Structure 1
Amino acid sequence: MGRIIFTVHQVNEYVRGLLGRDPILQDVWVRGEVSNFKVHSSGHIYFTLKDEQDRIRCVLFRQNQRDMDFIPCDGMRVLVRGQVSLYCRDGQYQIYVMHIEKDGIGELYLAFEALKQRLKAEGLFDAQHKKPIPAFPKKIAVITSPTGAAVRDIIKIVRRRCPCVDILVVPVLVQGSAAPAQIEAALDYINTRDDIDTIILGRGGGSLEELWAFNEEVVARAIWRSRIPVISAVGHETDFTIADFVADLRAPTPSAAAEMAVPMLQHLQETLVGLNIRLLEGMRNMLLRKRSSLEYLQSSYVLKYPDRILQQRKQRLDQAYTKLCVAFNDMLSKKRERLSRWAVALDALSPLAVLGRGYAVVTLKPSHRVVHSAEALNPGDDITVHFKDGRAHCKVEKIENGVWGINEP
């Protein structure tokens, strides 16, 4: 039997033709929640429309936005009217939106944004107030629905990662008008206990209405006043609630919260084994180094022949003493030589030396003032003539002017 082979493009075009010939899909109304909202630089709007089970991509071209009286945003429930077709390049069908309007949840989303801005202004979201999550908790508390998949996932992951951690499940409603009060009471109750290290607050995914209990102010303030660190795990990764912003840590899913709350025991054991190996190896290397150092010291010249070292030190001491004596004697000789030169110089300047060469010193009585000139004397003055070996007391008889000579009579 012959085979008919199509290209990928032919298949996509065929499917697009089938969708285009379906009258229902060419003018269809769809209700859902907006997520992954993006405005392209071209002005076209791309977003995903989702409900509790599935998602479908949507595109709203710029020319179809003229009648819009609002800007869609993530979390908003809307009604869209358009045609379903296949985008051949990606092989994915999507809704080409012709008209969009709010589906009544817009008021809730506006309330969400208003509360978010008010609590942010009060500082409830500030990072400086976030408490660290204990790395090795002994017991954690889980606030969630006792019948939902979230609690089963959390227990399963905690038991797998770290079986030694105890779990306290505090059952509450996670949607409906009574849920906020129950969540607040659960948080306050857990904070009265001293055996809880971490709180996980969460539930599975849902629409904005179903997650609204975690957007209530009473829940936000209960998380804020909790002295025990709180991990918020509400909905899926794309879902954000007020509880996420106030909590000390946000987890994208309840399963991720369990992974964040407790360590992986196997990893800890592997880490401890690795550290133990490194410690033993380090101690072994240190002992080898110490043993090598000890063997080197034992074979060293100092320890093998200490008396020789002492003899060398004594010899060096004798040499130093000899050098000291030589230096001292040399210094003493130099000092003596300098003293002799000073004594000769002083002797040359001594008056007694001058007197010894035949000179005399004349003083006038009774003042004993030295006479420097004949003009200072008068006939009849009593004078004393000082010689090197004595004195003569004389009286001046006559004064003669002029220079005295040695050969004068």
Structure 2
Amino acid sequence: MSMNSANNNIYTVSRLNAEVRLLLENEMGIVWLVGEISNLTVPVSGHWYFTLKDSRAQVKCAMFKGNNRRVTFKPANGNQVLVRARLSLYEPRGDYQIIVESMQPEGDGLLQQQFDKLKMNLAAEGLFAADLKRPLPEQPRRVGIITSKTGAALHDILHVLKRRDPSLPVVIYPTQVQGKDAAIQIAQAIGRANSRDECDVLIVGRGGGSLEDLWCFNEEIVARTIAASTIPIVSAVGHEVDVTIADFVADVRAPTPSAAAELVSRDTSLRTQQYSQRTDRLAHSVSTHLARSRTVLTRLQHRLAMQHPQARLQQQAQQFDELERRLYQSMRQTLQTEAQRLDRSAQRLERYSPASQIPQLSIQLRYTEQRLVDGMKQLMSQQRHALALQMETLDAVSPLATLARGYSITRNDKGNVLKNVADTSKGDVITTTLADGEVQSTIL
């Protein structure tokens, strides 16, 4: 391998993180994740940063303001949630993370996820197609009802049928409409009605309830049994706001059990009934078309998100929050350091202040002054003693001391000291110095 080829395989950290982020975002796509929220923080930007964890692992998460506005509950540490997210990487720190796009409480979220998945799969198979829908008989000979024999839905259906067409025969196929065995019993009841072939329209339904209560009508076995039925089926589950998989597969969806009874019963206003049926079929067709369109739109949105500047903006927004946090910490640390330095400087200034040194220097000055006086006294004493010694020595060799002992000094008229007799001549005038005066003499 050449040196140039080896250098081409050397990554910078920035390039590596950028390519890993693109790899995660493009290859993994959208994921659903269940976990417990911890370390939730909400900076002034409005974005959410938290950790999702289970008993053995955890992953960092970011949910930006544009997405978290749609969350219908207030998350808190310890909440178990289901999130829809895409994998990413926070490049500045090299942190693997997920970007959360939606969040729900765990229980409702899992059911909704299963609902959406099954709905998408069945729609892709064509079970919701409008051309598979069979028209209801204009004048049914006998109506079959598949519901609970003790529920309010049965009472409502029978009440409407009696009011509109008391002569219309009714066959009841009692079944559970809630609980873990309900889906199988509903499918068996539909199969039993088809094998008997005693009715020319079936009403399948129950009263309203929560998503969990209605779940048996979202089971795949019920959906496929309805699709396979040779008898037209009217789905009448819950109130108007409750929509199930059975509603999409059935030939006609009635918003309530009472409305289903009106659809299948004879009435003087037949045209109104036909119009209602056609309107419902049209609405069902539109709903199916919208479901398909939403599926296509979701794929296109995901592809757009992978290439959209928003991903980069989200990265930069997260980086801005990180820089803001680091700046705040740095400023706080700097202020603390400067405050400590100022305290130390004040302490040193106080320690070396002239005001604090004056008493000590005054004592030192007095001590030095006393030493100077003592030194001068000692020096003067030493000088006096030395002077006395020198005076004694000088006095011992002084000519005056010699004269005092009886000696004299004789000089000629020139002032020279006469040491020998030979130094004098007859007639010379000499001066003799004694201890108490002088005597002049003439040499004879």
TM-score (ref. length: structure 1): 0.43
Which structure has the larger Rg over C-alpha atoms?
A: 2
Comparing both structures, which one devotes a greater share of its residues to helix?
A: 2
